[in-house]
Structure 1
Amino acid sequence: MSITRTDLRSEVSVTGVDVVELTILMPCLNERETLATCIRHALNFLADNGVVGEVLVADNGSTDGSRDIARAEGAKVVEVPERGYGAALIAGIHAARGTFVAMGDADDSYDFEALGPFLDELRAGADLVMGNRFLGGIDKGAMPRLHRFLGNPLLSFVGRLFFSAPIKDFHCGLRAFRRDKILALELRAVGMEFASEMVVKACLAELKLVEVPTTLRKDGRTRPPHLRSWHDGWRHLRFLLLYSPRWLFLYPGAALTLMGLVTSAALMRGSVQVGAVGFDVGTMLVAMAVAVIGYNSVTFAILSKVYAAHEGFLPASERFDVFQRRLGLERVILAGVGMFVIGLVWLAFSLWGWRSEQFGSLQPRESIRAVAPAVLGLLFGAQTIMAGAFLAILRIRTSDVPFLGHAMNEVVGFDREG
């Protein structure tokens, strides 16, 4: 069927904001080579399927005339001054009028005329519908081998492992969702991490997630993509670690700490023989290192949880709120001082024992056994004091975080014509 742009405009025109079912949202930064094609495909989908909708381009500071192209093709434009993939999409979601929003890159790598399965799943009750490029097919040259065989599978596995996400293509750029459900998540990541944040927060909020096959084509641009493989891959992994469940750092850290302390205590009196294997001060030093590593993991888990909760990255937890209120600066520092003092007292006793030898040479094994627990107490105490101070800094810094998107109409210019 041949449709002109004028026909498309009349086909999808609306008389009020409440009747728009679907907004097709495209983030854009200098996409003049492919933007018009993407908009035409999106408008074709709306017209061919009788969907009342709109095409919205969230422009992130294009200097190649992309905004004019978008308007000429019948799309609305929201201008987003803050740079970043996530910033553009957050602004676009706020400006969207549709009950549902479908988002996809404006580089012609996704077929906007194939949004039928996404919309069907949303109408059937799904909250977030993800495309799966590995099921739908990846054209030759459409995805770098590093992304296809390492980056995407690894990050998707981590996402499933950490958050029980029913998603096998965690970073597919073509996805659709209920606008109100995603707005309620208060997404904040302004960079590429936005793609991960949406899925992670949807899982934590127990939204209904489904996947549909989608095809990835080689994009139509002659310039290199904005994506930087290692840099952006690390940012996604770092973001997933920030959101990781407590068993990733807290529980393993607590187990390592306990194992290290118990082993160290068992070797304090002397060597231990298990069958034909003997354990002595070398094992004791390794066990103490394990205890320190475990304690580092525990403090990291607590501090990262506090940071994520205060920044709004993680949903509120009443039990954790009660726990962190008890982690007052004075209490944490007092506990650290107590550990440090224990270490100092132990060290003093070691020095007293050395004095009895006229401060001469000691047997290495016995001297290590005498001083090692003091070192452990000093390390634990110093780390706890610094963790308490850092906890206080985190709370000051994140006590009142402004949410990107409040008063969005005052921040960005929105073209409402058409």
Structure 2
Amino acid sequence: MIDVVLPCLNEAAALPAVLSGLPPGYRAIVADNGSTDGSAQVALGYGAQVVTVPQRGFGAAAHAGLLAATADVVCFADADGSFDLRQLPLVADPVAAGEADLVLGRRRPSSPGAWPAHARMANALLAWRLRTSLRLPIHDLGPMRAARRQALLSLGLRDRRFGYPLEMIVNAARAGWRVTETDVRYAPRAAGTRSKVTGTVVGTARAVRDMSKVLAR
């Protein structure tokens, strides 16, 4: 069994399709970060484990899901419908086989509107900084990713905001992990929803600010 942590804030419209796409042998942990649209109830209805996370912040939700996981290999993915969870084996299999320690899904947009230009440019800049400063062969911060649970806990991740995914990569690189990436499809969010990060320039700027603090540490 492989656990899949899905940080969630008001994703009731997206969760049915997201959770229906889980491959056999994968178990969903929806880390609910204060949703007011019934996301938790929807997730329970589709058989997911729901973890209530009172502390607001993407990192708080992601880490609570990690703590709740019990599988050896843990995946992370957005709960907004932008990822096809049937592709989770692309990131999980190399970890399970011992071929990599952290695998990131490099987003390949399925349509021009799937990944707004401002968000793509911010991501490219941060990835470039990781390639130049830490010699990592990556081009995307990869919201869909996989690693071993105990190894992730050993990284001592502290950020509880949008810097959490970047801190995971930075700490993994400094610990000598084998970090790789693989292509995954990236689609527009579920209809009627908007990303807290990529949906607006302000959201993207907030995420870049949090991530820049991680790089400055």
Q: Do they fold alike, i.e. is TM over 0.5?
A: yes
1:223-262 maps to which residues of 2 (within 5 A)?
223-227=193-197, 228-242=203-217
CA positional deviation for 1:152: 1.4
Structure 1 residue aligned with 2:135: 164
Query: In the comparison of the two structures, how many residue pairs are matched?
Result: 211
**Pick aligned residue for 1:128 from 77, 93, 102:** 102
Partner Cα distance (2:106, 2:193) in 1: 25
CA contact (8 A) 1:193 1:236 kept: yes
**Unpaired runs of at least 5, structure 2:** 198-202
CA contact (8 A) 1:60 1:81 kept: yes
Structure 1 residue aligned with 2:51: 78
Partner Cα distance (1:189, 1:241) in 2: 13
CA contact (8 A) 1:27 1:105 kept: yes
Partner Cα distance (1:58, 1:238) in 2: 24
Residue identity (%): 35
Partner Cα distance (1:104, 1:120) in 2: 15
CA contact (8 A) 1:54 1:98 kept: no
Amino acid at match of 1:230: A
Structure 2 residue aligned with 1:55: 28
1:60-209 maps to which residues of 2 (within 5 A)?
60-125=33-98, 126-133=100-107, 136-148=108-120, 150-169=121-140, 171-209=141-179
CA contact (8 A) 1:107 1:221 kept: no
Work out which of the two has the higher radius of gyration on C-alpha atoms and give 1 or 2: 1
Amino acid at match of 1:175: R
**Unpaired runs of at least 5, structure 1:** 1-20, 243-418
CA contact (8 A) 2:44 2:50 kept: yes
CA positional deviation for 1:207: 1.2
* TM-score, normalised with respect to structure 1: 0.49
Structure 1 residue aligned with 2:185: 215
CA contact (8 A) 1:140 1:218 kept: no
Amino acid at match of 1:167: I
Amino acid at match of 1:143: W
CA positional deviation for 1:138: 4.4
CA contact (8 A) 1:105 1:174 kept: yes
Larger RCO (alpha carbons 8 Å, 6+ apart): 2
Deviations 1:149-181 (A, max 9, x none): x21111110111111222211x22111111111
Q: Which is strand-richer, 1 or 2?
A: 2
Structure 2 residue aligned with 1:35: 15
Partner Cα distance (2:31, 2:123) in 1: 25
CA contact (8 A) 1:67 1:77 kept: yes
1:384-399 maps to which residues of 2 (within 5 A)?
none
* TM-score, normalised with respect to structure 2: 0.93
Amino acid at match of 2:101: D
Are residues 221 and 236 of structure 1, via their aligned partners in 2, closer, same or farther at CA, if it must alter by over 3 Å?
farther
CA positional deviation for 1:147: 2.1
CA contact (8 A) 2:3 2:27 kept: yes
Q: Which is helix-richer, 1 or 2?
A: 1
Q: Which runs of 4+ in 1 moved over 3 A?
A: none
Deviations 1:344-393 (A, max 9, x none): xxxxxxxxxxxxxxxxxxxxxxxxxxxxxxxxxxxxxxxxxxxxxxxxxx
Partner Cα distance (1:196, 1:28) in 2: 18
Computed over aligned residues only, the root mean square deviation of the Cα atoms, in angstroms, reads 1.3
CA contact (8 A) 2:103 2:180 kept: yes
Amino acid at match of 2:165: A
